[in-house]
Structure 1
Amino acid sequence: MPDLHDDFTAYAHAHLPRLVTTAHLLSGDPRAAAELVRRALVRVCARWRRIPRDDVDFYVRRSLVKEFLRGARRRRSLPDGVLKDTSARQRAVLVLLHREGLREAEVAQLLGWSTGAVGSRARRGLAVCGGDAGRLRGLFAEVAETAEAARVGTGAVPFGVPLDAVEQRGRALRRRRRAVVAVLCALLLVPAGVFAADRIRGGGTADGSAAGAADGARSPIRVVAPGERVDALPGVQVWLTSDGKHWSTPQRPNQFLGLTGDSYASRSKAGAESERPTASVQPDRLNNSYFLSGLYRGLSADPARVEVTVDGSRMTGTVLTLAGSPGWGVWYTRAPLSLAELKSSYGDGGPTVTVYDAAGKVVARGGAQW
């Protein structure tokens, strides 16, 4: 049987020069760049089997930039470089826009920020660098040529990044995460088994049997009327109106997230980019778990599946759409997480949501603000 990591090796070898150059622009230091790429690739390798092969670049870029931002928060100042006078977040946005060639909406999806926040940091960062985007791209190209000529590291370790060690570390991390997930699943299945045994011994009630059948047959997509309240979980309600998402939890009643505003693409931008599909995540604590929910918008049709990922664990969300309002809706699910586990997940980017169409293609994604 072929090794599933063979294509990771091929991808890493093929994209290593560009990754190191991008990391160099972010970090301003060749040695820091090599370490940044190494850490990012370890995380990618650990999740390689779960990453869609037509969407690898997104995950690799996201891992690289998140690693940079995590490190930047631990340092008081950034090393010198082309972007030495910019903040860490301005630097990340400028590199993604003017080196990687992404659009502002794509950068927003990658980082889990609003498009307005990306645009603001891009403008401020570019002003710090002189206000000339063409000149900045030229400087980036010069850094790339210098990095290519220097070949950071030795011939045995291309660009200073030991890919063999990266794969070993990535596989070890994947095994450890799989073991943790197995333990958590076992702990969750024990009370479920006890409940099922109790139902079998007692024979169940007529009402209980009907409810179980309804739960098994329910579609993950439900069409609701404006203001119709849906009992998502005990004590948690979700409802939609034409202007956005409403939800209420025991700790935080009557919350609202609108379809317009800074959480989504800026209305001041004309054209298709302002309507680019996007999604969001809002976590609400419920005792020893979390109610995860969010908005998606800009789709041409209802989604086939919405998945939320927290620290490598994937959960399928229930979808609510408003009758007569295609293209947007609300998703929600419950995650068995503690506060410490949720905070820990932000070390790897935090909760992210991915929206798929009927063909299994990614049509929108986003994350929690951080």
Structure 2
Amino acid sequence: MPLPHDDFAAYAHAGLPHLLTTAHLLADAPGDPREATELTRRTLVRVCARWRRIPRGDTDFYVRRFLVKEYLRGARGRSRRAKTQRAVLVLLHGEGLREAEVAQLLGRSRGAVRSRARRGLAVHGGDAEHLRRLFAESAAGLVPPDVQLDAVEQRGRALRRRRTGAVAAVCALLLVPGAVFGADRFMGGGSTAGSGAGAADVARSPIRIVAPGERVDAVPGVQVWLTTDGKHWSTPKAQNLFLSLTGDGSESGYKYRHSYTKGDYGSDSQVGAESGKPTASVQPDPLNNTSYFLSGLYGGLSADPARVEVTVDDRRITGTVLTLAGSPGWGVWYARTSLSLQELKSGSGEGGPTVTVYDAAGKAVARGGVGE
């Protein structure tokens, strides 16, 4: 059941023990709950500040994401890698999440998560069951400290007011003659940034039904079109890219070249999905030397989505959807605003953007990222 907009205190109170336990496992500080308590407090302040913007059918995902990002905040280099590895182990063997769920939460590819998990597990003798027992024993001995939720709410509301004031200042600047040109760039091209937006009243994705082969000008310099076998698009840097679909709406056999970063994404990414299962993907394309176009494919749905939302760090952008007539259960989404390389890499764990597909009830029905 969707949660009302003013229920933060009830949610925080009910979820506090579990949140503290996860924070304790991340902090890895037996006998000293102060670090876990502070991590939990900072997380709840950020959650409270954004509470009205968090989709009510997907609350736990966003709260976990805030927690891990607070845990990783400020870490660099070797420390960042070690922390990310710890987060992967905790989420897999402490929380019991699947690799795909951890990848979506961290904004990493499943291969990257699998590699981190393998290396981390090797440190613990390669015994996953032993690690799960260690996590369980550590959690069992935790005495939950007192987190002052009243103070958390006050800090969260103050943070929300500051951000609302900053948005209002930007809007005022956009009213100045000559500043209108940048409106879409500043406002996120349909992002759900308005205060007071909840599951029922956030911006829905514009959905356009197109004919096979009908070319759509997504953003300047980029065209997107669909055929019955998948997604096609051309950018200033590459022409006639293609992502194929099987007849049931699942992705198959796609190879796409991109070069904005190395490592987890590589230079060639293979995208695939199990037949019939809801899936979503993200493909970042360079427009020039400084900005990137985001688009992707969703599939395996029983009906057209109500909203497709891409998340980059704390920024959420509502995508535009293209689909063929007859509600085939798959389609293409794209963002009408470009992003910089720094924005693309600023997500949790230096991962990339995450896309979430919601149905008419506000429930997340598919989620994915780069390499999904």
How many residues were matched structurally? 320
Residue 110 of structure 1, aligned match among 105, 108, 118: 105
Name whichever of 178-187 and 104-113 sits farther off.
Answer: 178-187
* Counterpart code for 2:155: R
Residue 47 of structure 2, aligned match among 32, 44, 49: 44
* Cα distance in 2, alignment partners of residues 70 and 303 from structure 1: 33
* Counterpart code for 2:305: P
Residue 166 of structure 2 corresponds to which residue in structure 1? 180
* Counterpart code for 1:237: Q
> Could you tell me the percent identity over the aligned residues?
68
Residue 239 of structure 1 corresponds to which residue in structure 2? 225
Equivalent residues in 2 for 1:133-212 (5 A)?
133-148=128-143, 151-152=144-145, 158=146, 161-188=147-174
* Cα distance in 1, alignment partners of residues 296 and 140 from structure 2: 43
* Counterpart code for 1:126: L
Equivalent residues in 2 for 1:290-329 (5 A)?
291-309=293-311, 314-321=316-323, 326-329=328-331
Contact 1:281 1:292 in 2 (8 A): yes
* Cα distance in 1, alignment partners of residues 344 and 100 from structure 2: 26
* Cα distance in 1, alignment partners of residues 305 and 232 from structure 2: 20
- Asked whether 1:123 is paired with 2:125, we answer no
Query: Closer, same or farther in 2 for the Cα pair 1:114/1:324, shift >3 Å?
Result: farther
- Asked whether 1:93 is paired with 2:88, we answer yes
**Relative contact order (alpha carbons < 8 A, sep ≥ 6): 1 or 2 greater?**
2
Query: Closer, same or farther in 2 for the Cα pair 1:331/1:181, shift >3 Å?
Result: same
CA offset digits 1:100-138 (Å, max 9, x no partner):
122222222222222233233223322332222222111
User: Shift of residue 286 of structure 1?
Assistant: 7.2
Where 1:117 maps in the other structure, the secondary structure is helix
CA offset digits 1:218-274 (Å, max 9, x no partner):
962323425x43211232212346775443344x3338474446867766xx788xx
Higher helix share: 1
Residue 65 of structure 2, aligned match among 62, 65, 74: 62
Where 1:307 maps in the other structure, the secondary structure is strand
Contact 2:225 2:232 in 1 (8 A): yes
Query: Closer, same or farther in 2 for the Cα pair 1:59/1:293, shift >3 Å?
Result: same
Residue 239 of structure 2 corresponds to which residue in structure 1? 254
Contact 2:282 2:297 in 1 (8 A): yes
Query: Closer, same or farther in 2 for the Cα pair 1:248/1:192, shift >3 Å?
Result: farther
Structure 1's unaligned 5+ residue stretches are: 79-85, 153-157, 196-217
* Cα distance in 2, alignment partners of residues 164 and 184 from structure 1: 31
Residue 363 of structure 2 corresponds to which residue in structure 1? 361
Residue 212 of structure 2 corresponds to which residue in structure 1? 225
* Cα distance in 2, alignment partners of residues 23 and 310 from structure 1: 23
* Cα distance in 1, alignment partners of residues 209 and 175 from structure 2: 27
If you compute each CA radius of gyration, which structure gives the higher value, 1 or 2? Answer: 1
Residue 28 of structure 1 corresponds to which residue in structure 2? 28
Where 2:297 maps in the other structure, the secondary structure is strand
User: Shift of residue 64 of structure 1?
Assistant: 0.7
* Counterpart code for 1:73: R
Query: Closer, same or farther in 2 for the Cα pair 1:280/1:189, shift >3 Å?
Result: farther
Contact 1:279 1:297 in 2 (8 A): no
* Counterpart code for 2:99: E
Q: TM-score, normalised by structure 2?
A: 0.70
Name whichever of 179-188 and 276-285 sits farther off.
Answer: 276-285
Q: TM-score, normalised by structure 1?
A: 0.71
* Cα distance in 2, alignment partners of residues 47 and 283 from structure 1: 29
Query: Closer, same or farther in 2 for the Cα pair 1:105/1:265, shift >3 Å?
Result: farther
Contact 1:309 1:352 in 2 (8 A): yes
User: Shift of residue 90 of structure 1?
Assistant: 2.5
Structure 2's unaligned 5+ residue stretches are: 182-204, 244-250, 255-264
* Cα distance in 1, alignment partners of residues 22 and 105 from structure 2: 15
* Cα distance in 1, alignment partners of residues 218 and 272 from structure 2: 30
Residue 73 of structure 1, aligned match among 63, 67, 76: 76
CA offset digits 1:125-184 (Å, max 9, x no partner):
223322222221111111011213xx44xxxxx1xx443332222111111211222233
Query: Closer, same or farther in 2 for the Cα pair 1:176/1:293, shift >3 Å?
Result: farther
CA offset digits 1:4-36 (Å, max 9, x no partner):
875222222222222222112112123332222
* Cα distance in 2, alignment partners of residues 190 and 287 from structure 1: 29
